[in-house]
Amino acid sequence: MTDVATPLTATASPDIPASKSLGARTLGVIFSPRETYEDVAARPRVLGMMALVLFISVAASVAFLMTDVGKDALFDSQIQTAESWGFNITDQMYERMESQLQYAPYTTAAFMLIVFPIVWAAIAGIIMGVFTLAMGGTATYKQVYAVVAHSAVLLALQQIFINPLNYERQLMSSPTTLAVFFPFLDEMTFVARLLGGIDLFFIWLIINQAIGVGVLYKRKTAPIAIGMLALYVSIVFIVAAVRTAWSGA
C-alpha cells in the first residue's frame, strides 16, 4: 500500500506590525510616543512629517500675523526685545520697523521654512555625535533625523495652542513659559528672563524626544531626558545672564 505523504504546513512567520500612517504617527507622538518611535526607528520616514509640521506651524503663525492685533503684538515685542538688550530705539528705527510689519507674515513663513529643517538637522547631528560616534550606538542619521522631525509635532501643537491665546492677550510672548506663574516679577530682571525662557512645551518636547532617542539606542529614557533638560536650562540661563548684563539691569 502506497503511503500518502502528508502536506507540509508552512511555518507561520511572526507577525510584523503594519506601518503607521502619517496621521497615526502624528497622534502617536502625542499620546503613545514609545510605540510610535519604535515604528519610526523601523521605518524612518521624514518628508511627510516635515511637510505637515511646517504647514501647521507656518499657517498658525501667518494667520496670527495677518491680523492687526498680530502686527501690533509683534511690533511691541520687537521694541521690548531691543530695549531689553540695551538698545536705544531712535525715531528712524521706530519708523523703519513699523513700515516692515506688512511683510511680517511672509518673512516669518520663509524663516520657519528655512530655519526649522536646519535646526532639526543640527540637533540630529548632535544626538548622532553623542550616541553613535561617542557612545558606540548603531542608529543611522536618517533614523535620528526622523525622530527629531516627528518630535516637532509638539512645536506645531504649540503654535495651534498659543496663537489664539496671543490674539486674545494681544501679546507676542509665549503664554506657556514659567514666567506666566510669576506675573509680579519685573520683566527686565534676570529671574524673569530665566523663567521666561523655560517653556513648558519645550520641556514636553525634550522628554518626548528623549523617548525616541532611547528607543533608537536601546537606552533608558530618564538619563537622556535629564541630560537634555540640563543642557536646555543651561542655555536659557546663559542667555538670560547675558541679556541682563548687556542691558545693565
Ordered DSSP codes for 229-240? HHHHHHHHHHHH
Amino acid identity, residue 109?
Answer: A
Give me the half-sphere count of Cα atoms (radius 13 Å) on the Cβ side of residue 46: 13
Q: How far is CA 105 from CA 61, 102, 163, 202, in A?
A: 8, 7, 13, 23
Residue 16 pLDDT = 57
Question: 89 in a domain, yes or no?
Answer: yes
Domains: count for the chain = 1
In degrees and rounded to multiples of 5, residue 177 shows phi and psi of -90, 165
The alpha helices in the chain, defined as continuous H runs, are 22-31, 33-42, 47-65, 68-84, 91-99, 104-127, 141-151, 153-169, 190-197, 200-217, 221-247
- pLDDT tens for 41-81 read 999 999 999 999 999 999 999 999 999 999 999 998 888 88
Residue 5 pLDDT = 40
Question: What is the C-alpha separation between 109 and 72, in angstroms, rounded?
Answer: 18
Tell me which residue range forms the domain holding 145: 27-247
Residue 228 pLDDT = 97
In degrees and rounded to multiples of 5, residue 199 shows phi and psi of -100, 135
Question: 14 in a domain, yes or no?
Answer: no
| Burial (0-12, 13-18, 19+ Cβ within 10 Å), 168 | exposed
Residue 8 pLDDT = 38
Residue 98 pLDDT = 86
Give the dihedral sign, CA 29/31/36/38: positive
Question: 135 in a domain, yes or no?
Answer: yes
Query: pTM to 2 decimals?
Result: 0.87
Question: 15 in a domain, yes or no?
Answer: no
Question: 11 in a domain, yes or no?
Answer: no
pLDDT (tens, 9 = 90+) of the chain, 249 residues, equals: 344 443 433 333 455 578 899 999 999 999 999 999 999 999 999 999 999 999 999 999 999 999 999 999 999 888 888 777 777 778 788 888 888 999 999 999 999 999 999 999 999 999 999 999 889 999 999 999 999 999 999 999 999 999 999 999 999 989 999 999 998 998 889 999 999 999 999 999 999 999 999 999 999 999 999 999 999 999 999 999 998 888 764
Residue 69 pLDDT = 95
Q: Report DSSP state, residue 136.
A: -
Question: 224 in a domain, yes or no?
Answer: yes
Question: 3 in a domain, yes or no?
Answer: no
Residue 187 pLDDT = 85
Residue 33 pLDDT = 98
> In sequence order, what are the residues at sequence separation of 6 or more whose Cβ sits closer than 8 angstroms to the Cβ of residue 30?
153, 154, 157
Question: 31 in a domain, yes or no?
Answer: yes
Residue 15 pLDDT = 54
Query: CA 101 from chain center: how many Å?
Result: 25
* Coil vs helix vs strand at 199: strand
Amino acid identity, residue 216?
Answer: L
